[in-house]
Amino acid sequence: MSFRKIIVGVAGLLFLAGQVKAQDPMGLYFMETIPQTKHTNPAMQPRANGFFALPNVNQLFQSDLAFSDVFQDVGSEWVSPLSKRFNYGDLYKTTGKAFNLNQQADVQLVGLGFHSGRDYISVSLSMKGAVAMGVPSDLFRITDKGFSNGSRFDFSTLRTKMVTYKEINIGYSREWTEDLTLGINVKPLFGVMGGMTDISRFELHTSREAYNVYVDGKVYTSAPLEVEESETPGDFPESIEGRDMDDEWGSYFSSFKNPGIALDLGAVYRLNDRLQLSAALTNLGFIKWKEDLNSLSFSGHYSFEGLEVDGSNKDDLDEALEAIGDSLETVIDYSTGKESFSMSLVPGLYVGAQYDLTRSLSLGLLSRSLMQKQNFRQEFNLSANWQPYTFLALNANYGYRVKGGGGLGGGLSLLLGPLQFFAIADYLPTHYANVNFEGDEFTMFPNQRELSVKLGFNLIFGRHGYRNRPMLTPASL
């Protein structure tokens, strides 16, 4: 199979699986025997003299809501937001103005790195994808308060961002002194497909006379779509369909269009023989979308007087809702275009401290801040890192996300000759909910908000280490 076909296949899987950030497990940060630590902090220099990275995969799922937030345990019975016994106050404490869902996928196709004097140089090629959604908390207020007279519901926090892109990571770090190491990753980016919403107003006002909807926003896409405009100016497009690509998919996914750039900056400082401090700023960049552009703008006001249907007749209800949809397509003012747009990555700030208890055992404390629009996320991670032999390194960690709870994680690095296998995970599912809604059926649900997993293979050269950072042997315990 050609390298071009591999890129196309991986890109397709990323986009179909639910796809602009791809963050590694926090447990990876202090595992110095794994070369991919340079992705969390470019100043981290792997202990091996050189490496060749074989394909590795990173998957992440995040949600502000766990199962027990949406379905509450009341008197040994699970109740949904439709129940009068549901406590909406607890739910709103977790969601804020919007609750967020993120799914990310990252496949590093190939990479290499080597040590030269005080310098460490690396380069890698990856396919990355992410989908991020913000769902307005006012959707829950509908079931909580109902459509009472004079209510105002704000859905402006609704947002969606989807992206699939290629990343070339060129890394350089240098030991400027015996104690200070600085590093940088320069990352040219090339967008494959992307889309995002930009909603400035989406409100529902209720009164005795009518329900009023106010909208103002845009949707941007860069994807193989065909948009057929309406014959009536201002109406919703006649159709939006995928373009027939036939044999074009190969060139589409392997091309280097929609350019962007990102930087990672990092520093590591050793205070003494046992204590080391570090910090990194990651994903400072954006992608500029210029190809296969489509944009849809919408603004206006729609007044809705209610549904006069028999609730028991599903056909009447469907017809009424369809009529409302038809009205929205004509009353709201729509316009299409070919506007270019920019999509920023999600910057991350890492601050860490590592203390060596012995030459084989260390403790690490890590803070990670993710700065996403309307979704600042703060996490902490406490880890123990143990390397009893040159061929084995282990990690055990506990992560805690503010307003998101905590969970256990772990990592493993195993050397079989020059072949290294590694696997790291944060927030492993340890709690499950026993659910019985109807009284006769139980189902098990993981009761967690986050799961991050990374695994892969490397070829390690000079695995006994270099300079004053040797790999450990049993004699050094």
d(CA 358, CA 172): 29
pLDDT band at 14 (very low <50, low <70, confident <90, very high): very low
Residue 13 has pLDDT above 50, yes or no: no
In this predicted structure, the answer to whether residue 16 has a pLDDT above a threshold of 50 is: no
The encoded tokens of residue 321 equal: 């809702």
Q: Does residue 136 or residue 51 have the better pLDDT?
A: 51
Question: What pLDDT, in 10s, does the model give residues 447-474?
Answer: 667 788 999 999 988 766 544 455 544 4
CB 439 within 8 A of CB 405: no
Give tens-digit pLDDT for 20-29.
445 788 999 9
Residue 310 banded pLDDT, cuts 50, 70, 90: very low
Tell me the pLDDT band of 330, cut-offs 50, 70 and 90: low
The pLDDT tens digits of the residues spanning 347-373 come to 999 999 999 998 889 999 999 998 766
Q: Which two tokens stand for residue 255?
A: 């091309």
Query: What residue ranges do the domains of the chain occupy?
Result: 3-476
Instruction: Tell me whether residue 10 is exposed, middle or buried, using C-beta atoms within 10 angstroms of its C-beta: 0 to 12, 13 to 18, 19 or more.
Output: buried
How confident is residue 312, by pLDDT bands cut at 50, 70 and 90? very low
Write down the mean pLDDT value for the chain. 79
Name the class of domain 3-476: mainly beta
| pLDDT tens digit sequence for 417-428 | 889 999 999 988
pLDDT given at position 170: 96
Question: Is the model's pTM score more than 0.95?
Answer: no
* Structure confidence at residue 112 (pLDDT): 94
Report the alpha-carbon distance of residue 390 to residue 445 in Å, rounded: 39
CA dihedral 22, 420, 383, 24 (to 10 degrees): 0
